[in-house]
Amino acid sequence: MPDTPRRFIAGAVCPRCGLMDKIVVAVGGQERLCVSCGYSDARPEGPAVEPKTRVTRGAARRVETPAEAVRLIDTGTAGSDAVDPDAAE
C-alpha cells in the first residue's frame, strides 16, 4: 500500500490500538491499515447489514398522522390595533 494513494476513514477506530482516525484504505484497494500500530485486515465482502433502528423499521409499523388545517392568530405587538377577522362587529 505504500505507493498507492490512501484515504483516511473519518471516525474509524483501530481494533487493536483503539486510536481514532488512524485507519487508511488504498483507493480501490481491499485492505485497511492502521498507521499507528500497523494493524491490517481485508475489507468485509458482500453488502453491509444495516442494523434495525426506529428510523429503518418497516413501513407497516409506521403511524401516519392525518393532515389537519391550522389557524394562525396574529397577536400583534404592544400598542397595535390588531383585529380578529372572525370577530363579530
Report the first-to-last Cα separation within the chain, whole angstroms: 83
DSSP one-letter code for 49: P
**30-67 pLDDT, tens per residue?**
888 999 999 999 877 777 777 777 666 665 556 677 88
Residues 47, 53, 57, CA angle at the centre, nearest 5°?
85
Give domain status of residue 65, yes or no. no
Q: Is residue 78 part of a domain?
A: no
Q: Let me know if residue 8 belongs to a domain.
A: yes
Residue 27, domain member (yes or no): yes
Selected residue with higher pLDDT from 14 and 88: 14
Q: Is 34 a domain residue?
A: yes
Residue 28, domain member (yes or no): yes
Residue 6 cell numbers, joined: 490512501
Q: Quote the number of domains for the chain.
A: 1
Give the model's pLDDT for residue 34.
93
Residue type, 44: P
Q: Residue range 3-27: average pLDDT?
A: 89
Range of the domain at 11: 1-39
Please return the burial class of 77, using the count of CB atoms within 10 Å of its CB with bins 0-12, 13-18 and 19+: exposed
Q: Is residue 62 part of a domain?
A: no
